[in-house]
């Protein structure tokens, strides 16, 4: 019985290591991403160049991903059309791309709730010094409303996306 349990554990660990280390399709060299669609319900970020889908990424979202972000602390990822408005190579979460949330409509909605709208919505990697987590970060929603990728994936997007790129975040 102990041997069976040992082999089950060994099989699980081997499978987990293979999952995390198995190489995925890379973004083509010199790709210029000019449009991003996020499909929250599918946990996908789709990167387009000249209306052609170049790559689909699996993402993690905020702890409470269903619905549009209404106020600071609701743990939701916003929905709507925004732009990439910043790039930070020294983020606490590897690198990040800033999303222009909140817009005027978001601010007005938060005011009706007598709350602050929040901000600092990003596309980012894993918290610094935890990059070894890799693809395991995809297994659950863990951000405060951001869209999380592996560090390697954020590196790809960081260099392929310009400030001003349109991002559409769908339910």
For residue 155, which phi and psi values (nearest 5 degrees)?
A: -55, -45
> Is 124 known to be catalytic?
yes
**Residue 141: Cβ within 10 Å count:** 20
- Identified catalytic residue from 68, 90, 94, 124: 124
Q: Are 166 and 81 in contact (CB under 8 A)?
A: yes
Backbone φ/ψ region at 94: left (φ over 0), alpha (ψ -120 to 50), beta: left
Task: Scan for tokens 């990424």, then name that residue.
Answer: 57
The residues assigned a catalytic role are 124, 146
């Amino acid at each position: 019985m102990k041997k069976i349990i040992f082999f089950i554990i060994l099989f699980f660990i081997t499978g987990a290591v293979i999952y995390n280390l198995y190489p995925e399709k890379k973004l083509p060299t010199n790709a210029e991403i000019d449009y991003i669609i996020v499909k929250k319900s599918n946990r996908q970020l789709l990167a387009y160049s000249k209306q052609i889908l170049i790559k689909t990424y699996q993402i993690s979202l905020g702890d409470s991903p269903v619905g549009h972000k209404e106020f600071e602390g609701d743990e939701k990822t916003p929905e709507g059309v925004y732009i990439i408005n910043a790039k930070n190579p020294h983020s606490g979460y590897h690198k990040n791309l800033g999303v222009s949330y909140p817009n005027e409509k978001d601010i007005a909605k938060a005011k009706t709730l007598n709350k602050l709208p929040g901000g600092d919505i990003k596309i980012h990697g894993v918290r610094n010094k935890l990059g070894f987590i890799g693809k395991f970060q995809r297994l659950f929603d863990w951000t405060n409303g951001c869209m999380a990728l592996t560090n390697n994936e954020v590196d790809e997007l960081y260099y392929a996306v310009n400030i001003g790129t349109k991002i559409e975040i769908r339910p």
